[in-house]
Amino acid sequence: MGWDAPRGDSRATGNQAPNVEATVERTFSHLRTLDGNTPQTGGVQAPEAPLTLEDLYRQHRMRLVRLAILLVDDPATAEDVVQEAFTGLHRNWGGLRDGAAAVGYLRTAVVNGSRSVLRRRKTAREYQPPHLTTARSAESLAMLTAEHQAVVSALGQLPPRQREVLVLRYYGGLSEQEIAESTGISRGTVKSTASRALDALQKALKV
Contact between residue 113 and residue 68 where contact means Cβ atoms under 8 Å apart: yes
Per-residue model confidence as pLDDT tens digits over 116-148: 998 888 776 555 555 444 444 444 555 678 888
Structure pTM?
A: 0.76
pLDDT tens-digit series, residues 26-47: 999 988 888 776 554 444 444 4
Which 3-state string (H, E, C) describes 84-139? HHHHHHHHCHHHCCCHHHHHHHHHHHHHHHHHHHHHHHHHCCCCCCCCHHHHCCHH
124-137 as b/e: b if 16+ CB within 10 A:
eeeeeebeeeebbe
pLDDT of residue 207: 66
pLDDT per position as a tens digit, 38-90: 554 444 444 454 468 898 999 899 999 999 999 998 899 999 999 999 999 99
Q: What is the CA radius of gyration of the chain?
A: 17
* The predicted structure's pLDDT at residue 35: 77
